[in-house]
Structure 1
Amino acid sequence: MNTTVARLTARGLFGRRRVLVLLAVPVLLLVLAVIAANSTLDKLDLAHNVLGSLALGTLVPITGLIVGTGVIATEIEDGSIVYLLAKPLPRWKIVTTKLAVAVASTWLLAAVPTYVAGLILYGSADGVALGYGVGALAAGAAYSALFLLLGVLTRHAVIAGLAYALIWESLIGNYVEGARTLSVQQWGLALTKAVAADGTVIAPVGLATAVWLLIIVAAGATAFASVKLAGLTLGSEE
């Protein structure tokens, strides 16, 4: 990890208007959690609906999309990446450094609010809040790697990532039985189920399968992004 690249990446990520969008979604989640906690509905059902559908199903992938593409796609699009590529720095180190910033940001803006929302909705009982927090951590890392790869592969990374998050993760991954095995959200739910002790978390993917798939996807996306970035030439970006 290169500290200079990390500092510049974080500054570019949070120094622009996208930070308002990044902050808006977790704030909305926490506000909804407070409102729901004061309702007369069953607290456990509310926790599963809000944390499973809204947090793990929407907040985490959208945050991962904005952050994962934001750490590199903008630099490639405006051509400023040439200044970084001109440095005597291995391309894999550039990718892993930017990924570290993306993962840390996704955890801060998605996983932590998910855990806090769980505490607001259901407290610390049965490990429900912790379970969803852990699931958000795992899914957030995978999303960050996937969307960073998209940022390297295409100039339309945000559109492609949004289509993936809305169509595959939210629709197909939730309602098509066979596709659930290939859904990052469902992998995160598997970790949630393993941590939560209440026995009501539904996860169609086994824990071991989910962990291996999360590792393979995150590592594979990182490696592929490094290879593709190494293929970029300064002349092609000028």
Structure 2
Amino acid sequence: MNPTVARLTLRGLLGRRRGILLLVVPALLLLVSAIASGSSGDKHDLTVKILGQLGLGTLLPILGLVVGTGAIATEIDDGSIVYLLAKPLPRWKIVTTKLAVAVTTTWVLSAIPTLLCGLMLYGTEDGLALGYTVAVLLAGAAYSALFLLLGVATRHAVVAGLAYALVWEALVGNFVNGARTLSIQQWGLSVAGTVAADGAITTYVALGVAVPLLLAVTAGATVLASVKLAGLTLAAEES
């Protein structure tokens, strides 16, 4: 991990309008949970809907998209990545450093609010708060890596990422049985269901499938992003 790259990446992520946008996601989750905590309805069902459907299913991929693409796509778009690539740094180290910053930022802005919201809504009962928090940690890393790869691979990373998050994860992955096996959200739910009490969270993918796929996506996206970034360097030198 390179400290200079990490500092520049963090400054780019938290600066100006993007920093405000990033804070909207945890603030929204906390606000909804605070309002819902005063409800007289079924607390278990309410917690599953807020933390599972809203938090893990909708807000986390959006947060991962903003952070993952923002860690590198902006520099590629405005051309400032050239100055970074001119440094004697292995391309994989640039990618892994940016990914580390992206993952850490995603964790801070998602896992901590998820835990707080879970405790606010349902306390420690059935391990729901802990289950969804662990799920957010693993799924958040996979989302960050995947969207960082998109940031390197295409200039339309945000559009492609939104299409994936809103169409595949929110719609197809939730309602088409066969597609659930290829959904980061469903993999995260599998982890949450394992950590929580038996039957507390409905899952559709076996843990033995979900965890290897989460790790494979995270590692695979990181490797591909490194290869793509090296390709950008070669293209710049040839021109």
Specify the TM-score bucket, using the shorter chain as the normaliser: over 0.9
Match of 2:29 in 1: 29
Match of 1:69 in 2: 69
1:97 matched to 2:85: no
Query: Superposition pairs for residues 106-121 of structure 1, below 5 Å?
Result: 106-121=106-121
Deviation sequence 1:21-43 (CA, Å, 0-9, x none)? 11011101101101111010011
1:203 matched to 2:206: no
Query: Superposition pairs for residues 1-238 of structure 1, below 5 Å?
Result: 1-233=1-233, 236=236
SS at match of 2:16: coil
Deviation sequence 1:47-72 (CA, Å, 0-9, x none)? 00100100000111000000000000
1:60·1:111 contact (CA, 8 Å) conserved in 2?
A: no
| Structure 2: tracts of 5 or more residues without a match | none
Give TM-score, length-normalised by structure 1.
Answer: 0.97
Deviation for aligned residue 1:139: 0.5
SS at match of 1:24: helix
SS at match of 1:17: helix
SS at match of 1:88: coil
Deviation sequence 1:157-184 (CA, Å, 0-9, x none)? 0010001000000000000000000000
Deviation sequence 1:205-235 (CA, Å, 0-9, x none)? 0011100000111000000000010111376
Deviation for aligned residue 1:236: 3.4
SS at match of 1:41: coil
In 2, Cα distance between the equivalents of 1:34 and 1:234?
51
Please tell me the residue identity of whatever aligns with 2:72: I
In 2, Cα distance between the equivalents of 1:54 and 1:141?
18
Deviation for aligned residue 1:83: 0.5
Deviation for aligned residue 1:16: 2.2
Q: Work out the percentage of aligned pairs sharing the same amino acid.
A: 69
Deviation for aligned residue 1:197: 1.0
In 2, Cα distance between the equivalents of 1:29 and 1:84?
36
- Show structure 1 runs of 4+ deviating over 3 A: 234-238
Moved more, 80-89 or 112-121: 112-121
Please tell me the residue identity of whatever aligns with 2:222: T
